[in-house]
Structure 1
């Protein structure tokens, strides 16, 4: 069975709309592909370790899909393991914006309360990939992203396949329209 490993963003989860849309698409159009979406820890080092454990349990390499902060994690994994990745409005250098995230938070999907500190910022900085291999990636960017500047990702992943959806935001409402292309991208990267 083929697998897609979806890494959700900060304060998101397996119940997010994009995950639900992706799971519905696979059920209808690719029933031989399973979507895996672990509820990632809010702490970056543990989130990446969780994703690594999922990867270690798979017989075949998956397609990575990472949204926002999950795109940052997917980049680290794609480079480490030579995996294809679809990045949805990915965070590029989250450690540089971390001052706004110190302290207590609550995940609206899980209700989990957590506190982020310097160890979390340092973990993000340690994961940073300065020169990603463009051959691994397809970036899907919304030009009206209200959370992250899409142009930073476009520059950081220069040479990678990129789709910029004009007037789409961080949520990326047109994600379902791209899923047939994501399936072709995954098929094109199978060994």
Structure 2
């Protein structure tokens, strides 16, 4: 595999490019890999629009030297991206069945780190999520998943079972946010992506 030249980061539900993990990763990439093309877009609430935005944004990227990192719902989107492009992917407590899990979140929502920012999660978004579900990955070895048994939002067994043949780092504790991401996991994530 050639070294990574382009890196996409996809944030989770009710999150943004200003999330802790996205910010930590952006800072580390800027410091250690200034020539790496970094893109962390603000994803719209509509899953269809979110993936359309991402696929337009990476349309010209070299498939053999791009990578994607996705957290939670972003991990679901990242799974779609790697299934489509065969790029390397790192999934951080990835959502496995958001169409099932997000039904109870239909309605007005706020961003985690800025409750003054609102968006509406519409009923039709559930069907959009179903349409983005991909089957078994053709190249599971291209995927590295960091999964916390202590995740208070998603079931670690669902996450582990979703990615047979992939590299999985299963944490005995932890939490959904991977609060120890910078101290315990970021270097390993970057090593898997192998940027220069």
- Asked if 2 retains the 8 angstrom alpha-carbon contact of 1:2 and 1:62, the reply is yes
- Is 1:123 the equivalent of 2:106? no
Aligned length: 189
Counterparts of 2:69 and 2:24 in 1: how far apart (Å)? 13
**Residue from 2, 6, 12 that aligns with 1:3:** 6
The residue aligned with 1:173 is 179
- Is 1:84 the equivalent of 2:91? no
Counterparts of 2:122 and 2:141 in 1: how far apart (Å)? 34
Taking CA–CA contacts closer than 8 Å with sequence separation of 6 or more, which of the two structures ends up with the larger relative contact order? 2
Q: Which runs of 5+ in 2 are unaligned?
A: none
Query: TM-score, structure 2 length as denominator?
Result: 0.88
Counterparts of 1:38 and 1:123 in 2: how far apart (Å)? 19
- Asked if 2 retains the 8 angstrom alpha-carbon contact of 1:136 and 1:160, the reply is yes
Measured after TM superposition, the shift of residue 165 of structure 1 is 1.9
Q: How does 1:33-182 map to 2 (within 5 A)?
A: 33-59=36-62, 61-109=65-113, 111-133=116-138, 134-176=140-182, 177-182=184-189
Query: TM-score, structure 1 length as denominator?
Result: 0.90
Measured after TM superposition, the shift of residue 59 of structure 1 is 4.8
Q: Which runs of 5+ in 1 are unaligned?
A: none
CA-atom RMSD in angstroms: 2.0
Measured after TM superposition, the shift of residue 108 of structure 1 is 4.2
